[in-house]
Amino acid sequence: MEDEISLGRVAADVVVQARELPGVKGVLLVGSAATRTTTRNSDYDFLVMIDDNVTWPMPFRDGGRRAWIDEDGRQVEVAFSTIGRFRRRSTEEEAEGSCLRRSGVAKSRVLWAADEAPEALVAESQAIVEAGPAPMERQDVLWECYDLWNQLKDIEDRLTDRRVVQILSGPTFAQFVRFFFRLECRWQPRPRDTIKAVAEVDRGYHALCVEFLDAGSGQARYDALERMASYLSGRFGLTFETGYTSSR
C-alpha cells in the first residue's frame, strides 16, 4: 500500500512536469511498477512520448533521461523519446530478435495522453510482441554457424589457460543462447530471465546451459559448448563448420 501511495505521488509529479513541455503526446509508466512486480531495488520508470515535429526546449530530445531519488529513497527514471525514434529503434531491435522496447510499452500504463497516439502505440506494441520475431534468413543462419565454429576453435586453442577460456567462453555461451531463441522464433528474454526461459522452451538445451554455467574447468566449459552446438545441429539440421560464402 505504501508503495502504491509513493508511486502515485511520483507519477502525478512526472505528469505535471511533462505536460508543461511542448509537443508531449503522452506519459507512460513502464517496467516493474507498471506490472506491479517491483522489488526493494526496483526503479519507478516512465516514458515521455514526444511529437516528432516540435521544437524541443531541453538539452536532449531522443533518448534523453532524467533520474533522481525520491523522498522515500526510490530511484525514479524518466526517459524521453519521439514516437518516430521509438519505432525506428524498436525495428532495429526486432531485426536482431529482441523486443525489449516494445515489450516495455506493451505492458505499460498510460498515465496521460494528449490524443490517441500513446494508446495506439501500446496496442501496436502488444501486437508485435504477440506475433514473435520473423524466422532468420538462411544466409544469417549460415553466418551464425560459421561465426560460432570459429569461436569454438579459438577456445580450443587456449584450453591450457583457464583464465583466457573463461573470458572467451562467456560471450560464446551468450551467443549460443541468443541463436537458440532466434532459431525457435522467440523473442530474446531479459538476461536475468534467460535460463528460466530456456527451460520453458527446451529442457534438453536448458540442461546443457546449466552444464556450462556449473563447469569447474576450461575443458568442461568447452565440452559443454561443443554439446550445445551438437544439440542445435540435431534439432535444426545445422552444420557448424569453417566454410562460408556470402550471397549478398
State the pLDDT at residue 248: 58
Nearest to 177 by CA among 108, 110, 100, 98: 98
Question: Residues 45, 152: one domain?
Answer: no
Query: Using a CB cutoff of 8 Å and minimum separation of 24, what contacts does 151-160 make?
Result: 151/175, 152/222, 152/225, 152/226, 152/229, 152/240, 155/218, 155/221, 155/222, 155/225, 156/222, 158/218, 159/218, 159/219, 159/222
pLDDT tens profile 152-187: 999 999 999 999 999 999 999 999 999 999 999 999
Q: How confident is the model at residue 246 (pLDDT cuts 50, 70, 90)?
A: low
Residue 248 lies in a domain: no
For helices 218-236 and 138-157, give the axis angle rounded to 10 degrees: 160
Note down the domain range covering 30: 2-131
pLDDT tens profile 19-41: 999 999 999 999 999 998 888 88
Computed over every residue of the chain, the mean pLDDT equals 93
Residue 247 lies in a domain: no
Question: Residues 215, 155: one domain?
Answer: yes
pLDDT at 212 over 60: yes
Residue 161 lies in a domain: yes
pLDDT at 46 over 70: yes
Residue 181 lies in a domain: yes
Question: Residues 176, 201: one domain?
Answer: yes
State the pLDDT at residue 61: 84
pLDDT tens profile 94-151: 999 999 999 999 999 999 999 999 999 999 999 999 999 999 999 999 999 999 999 9
CATH number of domain containing 6: 3.30.460.10
Residue 170 lies in a domain: yes
Per the DSSP assignment, residues forming a β-bridge with 29 are 46, 109
State the pLDDT at residue 247: 65
Question: Residues 118, 90: one domain?
Answer: yes
Count Cβ atoms below 10 Å from residue 227 Cβ, excluding itself: 15
Question: Residues 84, 110: one domain?
Answer: yes
Question: How many domains is the chain built from?
Answer: 2
**Among 115, 131, 147, where does a domain finish?**
131
Residue 245 lies in a domain: no
Question: Residues 203, 117: one domain?
Answer: no
Question: Residues 78, 179: one domain?
Answer: no
Question: Residues 11, 126: one domain?
Answer: yes
Question: Residues 71, 164: one domain?
Answer: no
pLDDT at 80 over 90: yes
CA distance 132 to 141: 18
Question: Residues 112, 210: one domain?
Answer: no
Which helix (H) or strand (E) is 65 found in, with range? strand 65-69
